[in-house]
Amino acid sequence: MTTIPLSLDGITDIPPGKLANVAILLQMFAPPEGFSPMRAPFGYALERLKGDSLERYRKLYRVVGGPWLWYLRLQLSDEDLTATLDSRDVEAFALSGAGGDIGILELDFREPGEVELAFFGLAPDAIGGGLGRYLMGEAISRGFVRGSKRMWVHTCNFDHPKALDFYIKSGFTPYSRCIEVADDPRLTGLLPRGAAPHVPLIEPQDNA
């Protein structure tokens, strides 16, 4: 593994084939004042996804997360993903309508006393119609039902441009930022090479 010194007062070059983004971490310690979850919009339902739904889960994960370069769950083997989804401390859901699955919600309770809103989003064609508010209401309601003292989530500069504002309006408060560096999932084969065109694909150079 190559170690590259990070400049805190300038520019740090990132090797071709790697991605670097700035992540914003947000948190809330209780549902917002006056919070009340919404009813599911007509024709839509939230369905639990367990370890026997790997193909469905991965398809939905790609549909929702592919445009924003989500890759973490795609790295897991069948065995590890099954164990994750079957864990009593992980709750994954698909938001489904007449056209199939269009939203994902995943809550991770594995850290005692808190819950991570691990994955949250809608298919591109479903954004902007109010379904996000319903799905966030479910996230908050389900996140605090176990007695969690804190819910947290992170977004980044690869995400939908309105994601940060949406989280803040939903009751989250930013509290930290970090830099994430990883292999570009379009080059490792986890995602199509044409995914997330707003993030340029930079090929590693063969210096041989």
Q: Are 122 and 93 in contact (CB under 8 A)?
A: no
Tokens 């079957």 belong to residue: 86
Nearest-angstrom CA–CA distance, 32 and 36: 9
User: pLDDT 10s per residue in the chain (208 long)?
Assistant: 566 677 778 888 888 899 999 999 999 999 999 998 888 889 999 999 999 999 999 999 999 999 999 999 999 999 999 999 999 999 999 999 988 999 999 999 999 999 999 999 999 999 988 999 999 999 999 999 988 999 999 999 999 999 999 999 999 999 999 999 999 999 999 999 999 999 999 988 765 4
User: What are the tokens at 148?
Assistant: 């969690």
E-assigned strand segments in 29-144: 45-49, 90-97, 100-108, 114-122
- Determine the distance from the C-alpha atom of residue 29 to the mean position of all C-alpha atoms in its chain, rounded to a whole number: 20
Q: Are 21 and 179 in contact (CB under 8 A)?
A: yes
Q: Has this prediction a pTM greater than 0.85?
A: yes
Q: If we measure between CA atoms, which residue out of 47, 177, 30 comes closest to residue 103?
A: 47
The full set of domains in the chain, from first to last, is: 18-187 (3.40.630.30)
E-state strands within 114-186: 114-122, 150-156, 173-183
